[in-house]
Structure 1
Amino acid sequence: MTPGTLLISQPFLGDPNFERSVVLVCRDERASGTFGLVLNHRTELTLSDVLKLPLGPASPAAALPLYLGGPVEPDTLHYLHRRPDVPGATALGQDVYWGGDFPVLLDLLTTGALDAADVRLFVGYAGWGPGQLAAERQARSWVTHPASAGKVFTLATDAFWRAILREKGGRFQAWANYPVDPRLN
């Protein structure tokens, strides 16, 4: 699977970690598996809650919200941004980059060279061992939306899952309207 692909969970996936989730695939390698970030599970935490910043609460990065990137290693920080000049960043397509030198990213935010709206921070990540995601896709747990990394910064987080399904159209558009618990319908 190509980095920059979105994985959209089917409405009744049954895994609370990925219920109504949209995951951005950052890396997919046959030998090591797949690494992705859940895009639409925002936490109540900000960067200053988990990291001591050089300017403290006055830092432009202090109020950046943290998203739950997935259930794996929730004590790690990952980030997406729109700066190709951050050393070590991986291009995901559509002017979206993953990772890179975090002090450089913080400096760009502090100096105003990078707008806070062009950064997403994640604690933890979504990971699949070799062949695991392929099996889940074959079981139709996930729908793919290729070459869609740019949507990270264009769709509202709380409506991301529904919006991307509506954009796909057809039966997926109907999925967007499925109730969370059909017994309550």
Structure 2
Amino acid sequence: MLSPLKPSIGKLLISEPFLNDPNFRRSVVLLTECSEFGAMGFVLNQPSSLLLKDLIADLGETDFKIFIGGPVEIDTIHFLHNCFDKLGGEQIAENVYWGGDFESLKLLINNNSIQADEVKFFLGYSGWEAEQLKDEIEINTWIVSDQFGKEIVFSNNEEELWREVIINLGPKYAHISNFPRDPSLN
């Protein structure tokens, strides 16, 4: 079942239902870079047990969740947001931006002027070397999708996000959403 779309910035990668890699099991990745040199993105539905205040001391009592963006450079913090007017950043998809002015973001957080549905934080990122992602798509590890809006990126329903994006692909893929996590239990 080859994905009809090519990977590019602003597209989602949706893992096949039985992918055994613990970093990407039932994951949804937003691509933020994609070229002949490789690709980069963030897993949208892998929350960690950490909050932003656990990592950055001068943010007071914020309760922003931290997500595991992927297995690469897990000692770095990245963020996606939907408020270009406040933070700037690089547009990834409609109303979705990557990075921006982190000092302004800290002020907005401390002043309670930004909400959890406007920004999402990640430890590390997902990365693919040149041709690696293409090869993984050819063996059906990933489905590429452009069927989403900012509500998917900033969703607080991590448990159901994979299923939701599969259903958004339409009837050709919807049956996949009901596959069990562990096929041996079927």
TM-score by length of 1: 0.89
**Aligned pair 1:157/2:163, yes or no?**
no
* Aligned residues of 1:4 and 1:148 also touching (Cα < 8 A): no
**In structure 2, C-alpha distance between the alignment counterparts of 1:130 and 1:88, rounded to whole Å:** 29
1:4, CA displacement in angstroms?
A: 1.3
Matches within 5 A, 1:13-162: 13-31=19-37, 33-54=38-59, 56-57=60-61, 62-85=62-85, 89-146=89-146, 148=148, 150=150, 151-154=152-155, 156-162=157-163
* Aligned residues of 2:43 and 2:125 also touching (Cα < 8 A): yes
**In structure 2, C-alpha distance between the alignment counterparts of 1:171 and 1:51, rounded to whole Å:** 44
Say which is worse superposed, 113-122 or 2-11, in terms of deviation.
Answer: 113-122
Structure 2 counterpart of 1:167, one-letter code: N
CA displacement 1:69-103 (0-9 Å, x = unmatched): 10111111011111213556110122111112211
| Secondary structure at the counterpart of residue 76 of structure 1 | strand
* Aligned residues of 1:93 and 1:147 also touching (Cα < 8 A): no
**In structure 2, C-alpha distance between the alignment counterparts of 1:64 and 1:154, rounded to whole Å:** 13
Say which is worse superposed, 167-176 or 64-73, in terms of deviation.
Answer: 167-176
1:114, CA displacement in angstroms?
A: 2.3
Moved over 6 A (4+): none
* Aligned residues of 2:72 and 2:126 also touching (Cα < 8 A): yes
Percent of residue pairs bearing the same amino acid type: 39
Say which is worse superposed, 43-52 or 165-174, in terms of deviation.
Answer: 165-174
**In structure 1, C-alpha distance between the alignment counterparts of 2:9 and 2:178, rounded to whole Å:** 28
| Secondary structure at the counterpart of residue 180 of structure 1 | coil
The answer for unaligned runs of 5 or more in structure 2 is 1-6
1:106, CA displacement in angstroms?
A: 1.5
**In structure 1, C-alpha distance between the alignment counterparts of 2:155 and 2:22, rounded to whole Å:** 25
CA gap 1:149/1:91 in 2 versus in 1, 3 angstroms: farther
Structure 1 counterpart of 2:42, one-letter code: L
2:18 to 1, 12, 17: 12
Say which is worse superposed, 96-105 or 141-150, in terms of deviation.
Answer: 141-150
The answer for unaligned runs of 5 or more in structure 1 is none
TM-score by length of 2: 0.89
Q: State the Cα RMSD in Å.
A: 1.7
